[in-house]
Amino acid sequence: MSDTPQIFVPSHPLPADRTGLLTAFKPGVRTLAAGFQIAPQFKPLPVDIVFEKDVAVPLRDGLTIYVDVFRPVGVEKVPVIVAWSPYGKGQGTSISVMGVFGLVGLSNSIVSGLAKFEALDPAYWCAQGYAICNPDIRGIVDSEGDSVFWDRQEGRDCHDLIEWLAEQAWCSGKVGMSGTSYLAVSQWFTAAEQPKHLAAINPWEGVSDVYRDLVMRGGMPDTGFAGMLQNGSFCGKNRKEDILSEAEHYPLINDLWENKIPDFDRITVPAFVVASYSNTLHTAGTFRAWRRMASQDKWLRIHNSQEWPDYYDEANVEDLRRFLDRYLKDVDNGWESTPRVRYAVHDFQGGDQVNVAAMAFPPEDVTSTKFYLDGASRMLATKLPANDVPAAYDVASNPNAVSFITRFAQETVMVGYPKAHLWVEAKGADDMDLFVLIQKLDAYGTPLQQFTVPNQNARIHDLTDHGATILRYKGSDGRLRVSARHLDGKLSTEDVPAHSFNRVEKLSPGQIVDIEIDLLPIGWAFHPGEQLRFVISARNLLGTMMPGIREYTGANSGQHVIHTGGGHASYLQLPIRVDR
């Protein structure tokens, strides 16, 4: 438990656009017959399904939450999969969920409307001999208590739900979890509580450190998405956690923020983790959790699209069923022979590779290679320039950035973690908010980008020209407030620097300091003649992660100086796959 008090504000009723046909509180049990269709745009049910609505579940502190259970008809006991999130359990037919499907270019007909947002569809899974449990978690809709925001409390609550489910007469005693985004985050916290009957988890992209991934990435108070989440969700009758005020009151890591990091050492359950390189909210956290979790039986698949299309893709659903059949049904289906890592390599021109097998990430045939910045030529080279030549920009000018380029003479593949090691100086200021980006350029210098969703119409172009980064992949980015440059010796590795964020170290006039910035992992292919560009800027080069979010403006003034060459060996470290 945290000694630092959490901050709460009154919650509010579920908005109309988040209300679905099954939202109203109406406890009871009924059978939905095969062919049942909740609304014309949704998939009909392939089998009869028992629907238990608004079932009361007690938590250890005496509060009650309410869950919906969908299960196959019959007397055979079945395993159950939990979808833990604050998004209303009856929200699958809401305007908001249908709008998200429309935004990314998915047809509502691929699901039955019974699924929670970002969760498994009971229509498919009940037909495969599974039950699905959709809870309204603490403080949401009709459930009691105050809602919290990605917190170890959620792990304890879900632990209690899992143990309750395992005791139900229809349950085989085995419980799993699956889902994307919030539903992935909750799995880290739940697995760390080690409920006896949790048999497997399937986190499909999600943050794993609220401070570092969400509200203070790089030490900057960028709370636009957190604000949208807090103000647009967490709807109930009592109070909800005010993470925006917490970020303002507690700008450094403390026990409150530590309480929002799962205890990875206690995650030992079999895990099938799914990630992408392109989700500027989820990528860092998913890979961090994959690296740090203690599970011996863990698998990673890195895809080349966006989580929602990927999650509902038929082939990927079947892939997930093999995993869950193995650990929730004890089916001897050879899942263990699945490569521990399957990764994607982006080509950005239609030649992506997917499901490339490896034993680890980065793969064993990858070598971290330093490309030194040369302020004179503005090139990147594997040889350190002899002369110290700075590159500078005024933060209020256009451009307020400097960049460096290298061209590849032969086929080059990069898979793993890039990082920047820079020597920097602030003139006319005592701090710097730095944003970095690596881009792929074609042979003629044109930046290459890639939509991650099926929708590629004119409106999605407008939305993603600047911002909406999870819908259009433009490169690997990183950021750091220089006064937060202190590295955490326990968490940092040679490839992935991690900052402690527990102190502020302002700059003195004329002081040159070296910093390390982690960039999102990559899987990229460069063909002969193609180029890589590394950009350093005073502004967010990609914009917001989703449309309609307030964009963060760097707290900058004066001039930024990037020292290169000689005694100030600034470099970009890239994970180069080497043919052995």
* % of residues, the chain, pLDDT over 90: 96
Q: Positive or negative, the Cα torsion across 449, 452, 457, 460?
A: negative
* Residues 353 and 543 sit within 8 Å (Cβ to Cβ): no
Q: Which residue in the block uniquely carries the two structure tokens 């006896």? A: 196
Question: What are the boundaries of each domain within the chain?
Answer: 8-338, 366-577
Residue 362: asked if its preceding bond is cis (omega within 30°), the reply is yes
Q: What is the pLDDT of residue 234?
A: 82
Rounded-to-integer distance, Cα 25 and Cα 92, Å: 15
What average pLDDT does this structure show over 200-229?
96
Structure tokens at 243: 């993470």
The enclosing H or E element of 513 equals strand 513-518
Work out the pLDDT band at 232, boundaries 50, 70, 90. Answer: confident
The DSSP secondary-structure symbol of 212 reads: I
Q: What is the pLDDT of residue 441?
A: 98
What average pLDDT does this structure show over 349-358?
97
Which has the closest alpha carbon to 305: 190, 453, 422? Answer: 453
On the question of pLDDT at 2 being above 80, the answer is no
Which has the closest alpha carbon to 272: 325, 209, 346? Answer: 325
CATH number for the domain formed by residue range(s) 366-577:
2.60.120.260
pLDDT tens readout for residues 503-545: 999 999 999 999 999 999 999 999 999 999 999 999 999 999 8
Q: What is the pLDDT of residue 409?
A: 97
On the question of pLDDT at 135 being above 70, the answer is yes
The enclosing H or E element of 156 equals helix 152-166
Q: What is the pLDDT of residue 536?
A: 98
* % of residues, the chain, pLDDT over 70: 99
Which has the closest alpha carbon to 365: 356, 374, 373? Answer: 356
On the question of pLDDT at 212 being above 60, the answer is yes
Strands 341-345 and 298-303: parallel
Phi, psi of 431 (to 5 degrees): -160, 165
Neighbours of 360 (CB within 10 A): 12
Work out the pLDDT band at 11, boundaries 50, 70, 90. Answer: very high
Work out the pLDDT band at 569, boundaries 50, 70, 90. Answer: very high
What average pLDDT does this structure show over 294-298?
98
Q: What is the pLDDT of residue 249?
A: 97
On the question of pLDDT at 580 being above 60, the answer is no
Mean pLDDT of the chain: 96
Rounded-to-integer distance, Cα 354 and Cα 366, Å: 17
Work out the pLDDT band at 170, boundaries 50, 70, 90. Answer: very high
pLDDT tens readout for residues 50-64: 999 999 999 999 999
What are the distances in angstroms from CA 396 to CA 482, 538, 553, 554, 560?
Answer: 18, 9, 12, 11, 10
Percent helix, strand, coil in the chain, to 5, is 20, 30, 50
Rounded-to-integer distance, Cα 214 and Cα 566, Å: 37
Structure tokens at 184: 């992935």
On the question of pLDDT at 278 being above 90, the answer is yes
pLDDT tens readout for residues 365-405: 999 999 999 999 999 999 999 999 999 999 999 999 999 99
What average pLDDT does this structure show over 183-196?
98
- Say which residue, 1 or 48, is predicted with more confidence: 48
**Cα 143 to the center of its chain, rounded Å:** 27
**Cα 520 to the center of its chain, rounded Å:** 11
Rounded-to-integer distance, Cα 575 and Cα 487, Å: 21
Residues pairing with 405 in the sheet: 379, 533
CATH number for the domain formed by residue range(s) 8-338:
3.40.50.1820
On the question of pLDDT at 313 being above 70, the answer is yes
Q: Which residue in the block uniquely carries the two structure tokens 């009650």? A: 64
* Residues 289 and 282 sit within 8 Å (Cβ to Cβ): no
